[in-house]
A and B are shown apart, each in its own frame.
Chain A
Amino acid sequence: MTPAPLSIVIHSARRGQGRVSIRSSRPVGAARLLENRSVSEALTLLPRLYSVCAQAQLRAGRQALSAAAGETNHEQVRDRELVLLETAREHLWRVLIDWPALLETAADPAQLAALGSFNQTLRSVAAAQPSSSELASLRTQLTDLLRSGVFGRPPVDWVALDCEALAGWSREVDTPAARLVGFLLAHRWEDAGATEPRFLPPMANDELNQRLNDDESDEFVAFPEWEGETRETTPLLRQQHVRLVKQALGRWGAGALTRVVALLAELARIPEQLDAGDAGASGLTENQLPARTGLSQIDAARGRLVHRAVLDGQHIERYQVLAPTEWNCHPRGVLARSLSALDSRHESTLRRQAALLVTAIDPCVGYSLEVH
């Protein structure tokens, strides 16, 4: 049997740093495949290679390559909207497929079919130049799915809840999201895996460029740290200022329930952002990097995605991708620290809480989990 790309081992008898070991066989250097190719070839290959988050990769690639060519990237609002819709699809996958599995229940076939249909429409719309009416129809599909399969009410009403009302909602509504919140509250697992957050701060392009260009750049892409620390880039970082998330963070810390609430808050706010034409900051910054070098930083479903390109004439001399999973699943990163904080003496509880945290931090690749 082929080993999973991410291998996680919890040594339950140990304490401190040796308690959790995370090993990865993810191909962090795959972007090198774009080297010695033309810009247009690279933009064709990027979504083919990274097809799960193809829209985010394509957007980051366009920005980095335009900047390297010294061109202005006239980014379309629809490019940003497609990334948000892709983020919604990835989060819905967790909520409608992974969360029922964590609760040891079957996923709802009707909601799976609705997610499948949303996924197919998104892929076919994104493959061409999407029209406003196609994007509007996707937005409607998403809002319906969120209302019926996740929140049981308009998403905007859910975001307005406070922690007390969240408990009431978890009892009133019958969706996987409400059941998971109710389960965490009933088992008193709200703060399972809580650790002090070490959020990834904004990274200046010139400093980031330097890190991606020095002798240790391969090590940085595989095991990134910033300002001497491992860093977290997750929905919790992005949603920490939303009232409900802020309250959850204050009450339960950065543990299982707060992470679940942050993902739901991000999901609930997407239709509003799309309707307002506010698909997030463009991510475009003045390129103050050396000539022929371009760098982009955008928010993908799992966190901050960085692309860096160096051109030689019409061809790519160097291409690097720094993915959010590398920050979050660093051997000493947020996933390892959260798993180390689990303290149940019962193996079955430990295993279940660990699976919950892995799903909440969302490594984007298959994983194996062993508890010794």
Chain B
Amino acid sequence: MCLAVPGQVVAIDRDTATATIALGEVKKEVSLALVEDVAVDDFVLIHVGYALNKISPEEAERTLALFAEAGLDPEGQA
């Protein structure tokens, strides 16, 4: 199933174009190669190790609520 998970950017390494993303309690390294203008505190949708696009905090909240309602673990889908 083609699920992408919202996470919040907590750190960025510009040299390697990667970011540390907070997914609930878990932190994950993802590539920023496919997105532009990402800053710390932004929300992004992530899929198999890549940030796909920026989303608003409201959209992130709505999507996480949807995952919770479906009983999906966002960490397991990222």
Contacts and interface: CB of A to CB of B under 8 A. Distances in A.
A174 B19 CA distance: 30
Contact of A52 (B3, B71, B75): B3
A210 to B, nearest CB: 23
A209 interface: no
Interface residues of B, number: 30
B52 A119 contact: yes
A297 interface: no
Contacts of A120: 35-36, 53
A115 B52 CA distance: 11
A25 interface: yes
Interface stretch (A105-113, A146-154, A282-290): A105-113
Interface string B29-72: 00001111000000001011110110000010011001001111
Given A2-B26, A30-B72, A33-B70, A48 B33 contact: no
A32 B76 CA distance: 19
A23 to B, nearest CB: 13
B45 A51 contact: yes
Contacts of A109: 17, 33
Interface string A204-237: 0000000000000000000000000000000000
Contacts of B33: 97, 107, 109, 112-113, 116
A25 B72 CA distance: 10
Nearest to A33: B70
Q: Which of B33, B34, B77 gathers most chain A CB within 10 Å?
A: B34
A58 to B, nearest CB: 12
B4 interface: yes
Given A2-B75, A5-B77, A30 B35 contact: no
Interface residues of A, number: 36
A5 B2 contact: no
B3 A49 contact: yes
A366 B2 contact: no
B11 to A, nearest CB: 19
Contacts of A2: 26, 73, 75-76, 78
B34 A119 contact: yes
Given A27-B70, A49-B63, 18 more contacts: A2-B78, A30-B72, A48-B59, A48-B66, A50-B1, A50-B3, A52-B3, A52-B52, A53-B2, A54-B2, A107-B33, A112-B34, A113-B33, A116-B36, A117-B36, A321-B1, A325-B1, A365-B77
